[in-house]
Amino acid sequence: MSMKILMLTCQYMPDVFGGAEKQCGRVSKGLKKKGLDVQILTSRQQYKGQAKEVLNEVPVTRLYSPIAPDLLGRWIPFSIYWLLRVLIWAAFNHKSFDVIHCHQGKFGAFVGCCVARLFNKPILIKVGNSNQFMDFNALKAKKLFGPIMANFVLKTNPTVVAITDVIAQNCKAFGFKNIINIPNSIDTALINTDLGVDKSLQEKNRAIINLFYHGRLESIKKVDVLMESFVLLANEQQNVHFHLIGSGSALASAKAYIKEKGLENKVTFHGEVNNPVEFIQQFDVFVNASEAEGFSNSLLEALLAGKVLVSTPVSGASDAITDGKNGYISESFDAVDIKNSTIKGIQLYNQDIDSVKVFSEQLIAENFTVNVIANQYLTLYKKLTGIV
């Protein structure tokens, strides 16, 4: 008997292409390949938008909500509206799923717990961020209804999936009892696509070290600190160039800061690219200044590309980076410490990039492939349902 899994996420690709949405797609496809009956339930903001489709071999149902349902606060009426839509859908379709798998422990987790209680279904909630930004902390912080919803989720006693040890400790401190560690996954096929991207930038000028960051350029990613650390580095070393790939609210200020420092010729702003994993292969050292993560997809993608990795001591960093083997973790979130770790990263690149690639490839094969992670979820589903 094939298990039937309902993936529940407030928004999904291509409307939103964040880390949670990427992981939902990767794991769903991986489970589908293992013979599980997987479907995704999400929202759409266009009334005449497509209500049903198949993405990456997985059926997706989109229930209309004028405003993204996880935007609480003054948009709470639309969140309640989506909750009712999901409950009505579940009333007609509860026999189509055995397990509810929520992506992120915010409003969507509350919705999932309502469905789980009403239709007596096991539920697991994957938590996507850490420390003060941890999903359940973010839910509880919402005015009026936040504490009520967070307490409701806690009393439902769901299985919580922590993607790092830091998040596991956060969830334990919040009061959850059933916590299991399953990291994020990376699709190794991403590295094989050929978009005609020049992968040999270093071949053109071996004297230049090309540093890069790719991802959402928002305040939580500390793009300002990232740029500050590069300016400090550029003042010490002439042979560096920084590449910033992505878009977001922090992009304009980053450009203004670099212009103010007179370093326009040492920083390239690429904007969004079609295939970031393929695109970043032309660069050398990944640098991440983020102050909060679950398990950074950008970090995993740079790991897959075999790059030297430099990161703040954010959640997930120690799972992907072993100091001296494939990169360095800075001592703090300070620009000076990030700069110092980047210098060590450049030295590692110059001394033994081939060993870095071998180490990272083995790390991915043993811990992070879609197949490895799908197997871990399959084991968890069997435990929750008793279905063999």
At residue 194, the pLDDT reads 47
pLDDT classification of 293: cutoffs 50, 70, 90: confident
**Tell me: the pLDDT tens digits for 214-229?**
988 988 899 999 999 9
Q: What global pTM score does this model have?
A: 0.87
For domain 4-185+369-385, the CATH superfamily is: Glycogen Phosphorylase B; (3.40.50.2000)
Task: List, for residues 104-158, the tens digit of each pLDDT value.
Answer: 888 999 999 999 999 999 999 999 888 888 999 989 988 778 899 999 999 999 9
pLDDT at 196: 43
The model's pLDDT over 53-91, given as tens digits with 9 standing for 90+, comes to 998 889 999 998 888 777 765 677 888 888 999 999 999
CATH superfamily of 188-367: Glycogen Phosphorylase B; (3.40.50.2000)
Q: Which helix (H) or strand (E) holds 83?
A: helix 76-93
Question: What does the alpha-carbon distance between residue 168 and residue 165 come to, in Å, rounded to a whole number?
Answer: 5
Which burial class, exposed, middle or buried, applies to 35 when counting CB atoms under 10 A from its CB (0-12, 13-18, 19+)?
exposed
What is the per-residue pLDDT for 180?
96
Q: pLDDT tens across 186-242, in order?
A: 988 887 644 444 445 445 456 799 999 998 898 889 999 999 999 999 999 889 999
User: Taking the mean position of all CA atoms in its chain, how far away is CA 131?
Assistant: 15
pLDDT at 144: 79
SS3 216: coil
| Residue ranges of the chain assigned to CATH 3.40.50.2000 | 4-185+369-385, 188-367
